[in-house]
């Protein structure tokens, strides 16, 4: 990307127009006036009794959400308001640091396990996305934490606590999703190998012409499950019945969406749904997705229990590292890589 500075937030400060390399073709713009917005766009599930007497009912609700929406919101999830507040605060503080301080973490090498970058894949993309992000590997925590920034001073402590909490929530949700499919509750856990957990701290600066660009264009997540924390600024939109629907933030509530690997494991009973991030001209936005995924060498395929004469296997088995590499190389223009791994069905 031919810019004087590698970070969007420094490049666009004070500008009244979107630089040309961020402008989407006319056919690929957000059409913000066509977006629908209503409360209840995706189900809100109370996890209070997930390990209590109402477990079967909550699992049923999670299954319905995964089948019909691919998304749900979660409240009473067990992560304290203080942990959430600290995570959002320290993330904002990081992106408000002087440019020279932030750039100590900058890299466009996707193999680096801790890196600050911009857009999506600056090496391959033709049009840039309106975001900077700090990507962190989070599991095992003790392996990666020493790579993280030391400024702001509480960064490692606050982010580490949040990562531990997010992992616990992801594991409880994966048990519930396993059970909702009629599988043993540890089926997905075992299918992930040693497990992986990554995080992106996304920073979307105010944009002078939000109708011309995206924070991130429509895409499905390549991992198993994503647990999204966001601040109070709207930006997430989900594709439902061919229309983009805005998902307005609810304080201290997480957005959960299933990724491509759940679609494969479920043999298409559950679908990984397209979603995108849009920007606005007034406010910066912080969103923090935790991506829970298989270890790179884990072999993923449809669960044998979900295959029969009426439901043949729709996907070949593959190593997660192979899937993720194709996702990264293709970028977000192609939206999903699932078709590359489908079996040839009559």
Report pLDDT digits (tens) over 165-183: 999 999 999 999 999 999 9
The pair of structure tokens assigned to 327 is 């996702």
Q: Is residue 20 part of a domain?
A: no
**What's this model's pTM, rounded to 2 decimal places?**
0.93
Domain contains 227: yes
| 10: in domain | no
CATH of the domain at 134: 2.60.120.330
Helix (H, G, I), strand (E, B) or coil at 231: coil
Q: What is the arithmetic mean of pLDDT over 191-204? A: 94
Domain assignment present for 215: yes
User: What is the total count of domains within the chain?
Assistant: 1
Strands (E), 119-266: 132-137, 196-204, 216-219, 225-230, 236-240, 243-246, 254-258
Q: How far is CA 72 from the centre of its chain?
A: 13
Predicted pLDDT of residue 334? 55
Q: Residue 1 pLDDT more than 50?
A: no
- pLDDT grade, residue 337 (50/70/90)? confident
Binning pLDDT at 50, 70 and 90, where does residue 331 land?
A: low
Lookup: tokens for 264: 């494969």
Q: For 255-281, what is each residue's pLDDT tens digit?
A: 999 999 999 999 999 999 999 999 999
Question: Residue 161: pLDDT above 50?
Answer: yes
Give a yes or no: residue 165 inside a domain: yes
Host domain of residue 231: 31-341
Per-residue model confidence (pLDDT) at position 264: 97
Given this model, what pLDDT does residue 2 score?
37
Could you tell me if residue 335 is inside a domain?
yes
pLDDT, residue 55, reads 96
Phi, psi of 167 (to 5 degrees): -65, -45
pLDDT band at 332 (very low <50, low <70, confident <90, very high): low
More confident residue, 156 or 126: 156
pLDDT average, residue stretch 284-309: 96
- pLDDT at res. 211: 96
- Average pLDDT of the chain is 91
Within a domain: 55: yes
What DSSP assignment string belongs to 274-298?
PEEE---SS--EEEEEEEEE--TT-
User: Per the domain annotation, does 192 fall within a domain?
Assistant: yes
């Amino acid at each position: 990307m031919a810019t004087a500075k590698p970070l969007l937030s420094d490049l666009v400060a004070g500008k009244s127009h979107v630089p040309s390399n961020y402008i989407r073709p006319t056919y690929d713009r957000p059409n913000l006036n066509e977006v629908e917005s209503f409360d209840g766009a995706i189900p809100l599930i109370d996890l209070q009794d997930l390990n209590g007497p109402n477990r079967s009912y909550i699992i049923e609700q999670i299954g319905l959400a995964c089948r019909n929406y691919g998304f749900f919101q979660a409240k009473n999830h067990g992560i304290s308001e203080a942990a959430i507040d600290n995570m959002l605060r320290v993330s904002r503080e990081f992106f408000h640091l002087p440019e020279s301080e932030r750039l100590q973490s900058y890299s466009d090498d996707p193999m680096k396990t801790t890196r600050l970058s911009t857009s999506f894949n600056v090496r391959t993309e033709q049009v840039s996305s309106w975001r900077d992000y700090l990507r962190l590997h989070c599991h095992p925590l003790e392996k990666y934490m020493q790579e993280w920034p030391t400024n702001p001073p509480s960064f490692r402590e606050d982010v580490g606590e949040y990562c531990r909490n997010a992992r616990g929530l992801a594991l409880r949700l994966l048990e519930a999703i396993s059970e909702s499919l009629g599988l043993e509750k540890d089926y997905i856990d075992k299918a992930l190998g040693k497990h992986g957990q990554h995080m992106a701290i996304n920073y979307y600066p105010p944009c002078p012409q939000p109708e011309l660009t995206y924070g991130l264009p429509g895409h499905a997540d390549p991992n198993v499950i994503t647990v999204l924390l966001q601040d109070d600024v709207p930006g997430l939109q989900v594709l439902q019945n061919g229309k983009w629907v805005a998902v307005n933030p609810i304080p201290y509530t997480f957005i959960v969406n299933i990724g491509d690997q759940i679609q494969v494991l479920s043999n298409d009973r559950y679908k990984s749904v397209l979603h995108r991030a849009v920007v606005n001209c007034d406010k910066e936005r912080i969103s923090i997705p935790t991506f829970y995924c298989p270890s790179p060498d884990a072999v993923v395929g449809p669960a044998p229990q979900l295959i029969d004469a009426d439901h043949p296997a729709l996907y070949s088995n593959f190593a997660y590292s192979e899937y993720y590499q194709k996702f990264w190389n293709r970028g977000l223009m192609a939206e999903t890589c699932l078709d590359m791994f489908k079996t040839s069905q009559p």
